[in-house]
Chain A
Amino acid sequence: MADKLITNARDLTNSEYFYGHRACAGCGGSLALRLAMKVLGPRSLVALPANCMSAVSFLYPQISFSSNSMITPFAATGAVLSGIEAGARALGLKDYHVVGFAGDGGTADIGIQALSGAIDRGDRVIYICYDNEAYMNTGIQKSGLTPYGSRTTTSPAGKNLPGATRMKKNMFEIVAAHDIAYAATASIGYPEDYLKKISKAAQCESTSYVHVLAPCATGWGFPIEQTVQMGKEAVDCGLWYLAEFEEGEFRLNRNPGTFSPVEEYLKKQARFRHLGKEDVDVILRNRDRKWEKIRNKWSV
Chain B
Amino acid sequence: MPIFRWEQSWNPLRDLEREVDRLIQGVEFSVQGIRIPRQYPAVNIFELDHEYLITAELPGMQVQDLELTIANSVLTLKGHRNPPVIDDGDIPEERFRRQERTFGEWQRSLSIPDRISEERLSAEFHEGILKIHLPKLEEELPRQIPVSSGE
Asked whether A and B interact, the reply is: no
Residues of B within 8 A of A (CB): none
